[in-house]
Structure 1
Amino acid sequence: MSGNTAHAAATTFRKGNGRIDRAPYDLDTVLDIAVATFNERGYEATAISVLAERLGTSKSALYYHVSGKEELLRRALDRALDGLEAVVEASAAVPGTAADRLEYVLRGAVRVLVGELPYVTLLLRVRGNTDVERDAIRRRREFDHRVSELVDAAHAEGSLRADLDSGTTSRLLFGMINSIVEWYRPGGPLDAEALADATVSVALDGLRAR
Structure 2
Amino acid sequence: MPEPVSGRGRPGYSREDILRAAVDAFNAAGYEATSMGALADRLGVTKSALYHHVSSKEELLDEALDRALDTLGGVIDEVGTCGGGDMERLRLLVRGTTLALCAEAPCVTLLLRLRGNSDVERRAMDRRREYTRTVVDLVSGAQADGDLRADVDPATVGRLLFGMVNSLVEWYRPDGHLSPAELAELTGKMAFGGLVPRS
TM (norm. structure 2) is 0.91
How far does residue 167 in structure 1 lie from its aligned partner after superposition?
A: 2.0
How many percent of aligned residue pairs carry the same amino acid? 52
How far does residue 11 in structure 1 lie from its aligned partner after superposition?
A: 8.7
Superposed counterparts of 1:103-182, under 5 Å: 103-182=91-170
Superposed counterparts of 1:13-162, under 5 Å: 13-14=9-10, 23-162=11-150
CA distance in 1, matches of 2:142, 2:7: 60
Q: Give yes or no for contact 1:13–1:24 (8 Å, CA) kept in 2.
A: no
CA distance in 1, matches of 2:9, 2:51: 16
Q: Which has the larger radius of gyration?
A: 1
TM (norm. structure 1) is 0.87
CA distance in 2, matches of 1:28, 1:177: 26
Q: Give yes or no for contact 2:69–2:128 (8 Å, CA) kept in 1.
A: yes
The DSSP-based 3-state class of the residue aligned with 2:21 is helix
1:12 partnered with 2:17? no
Question: Comparing 124-133 with 180-189, which one deviates more in the overlay?
Answer: 180-189
Q: Which runs of 5+ in 1 are unaligned?
A: 1-9, 15-22
Structure 1's consecutive aligned runs of 4 or more residues displaced over 3 angstroms after TM superposition are: none
Q: Give yes or no for contact 2:132–2:159 (8 Å, CA) kept in 1.
A: no
Q: Which runs of 5+ in 2 are unaligned?
A: 1-5, 195-199
1:188 partnered with 2:176? yes
The residue identity in structure 1 corresponding to 2:140 is: D
Counterpart for residue 3 of structure 2: none
CA RMSD of aligned residues (A): 1.4
Q: Give yes or no for contact 2:25–2:39 (8 Å, CA) kept in 1.
A: yes
CA distance in 2, matches of 1:58, 1:201: 49
Counterpart for residue 202 of structure 1: 190
Counterpart for residue 197 of structure 2: none
Provide, for residues 38-79 of structure 1, a one-character-per-residue CA deviation record: whole Å limited to 9, x for no partner: 000000000100010111111111111111100000000000
Q: Give yes or no for contact 1:94–1:100 (8 Å, CA) kept in 2.
A: no
The residue identity in structure 2 corresponding to 1:100 is: E
How far does residue 165 in structure 1 lie from its aligned partner after superposition?
A: 2.4
How far does residue 200 in structure 1 lie from its aligned partner after superposition?
A: 0.3
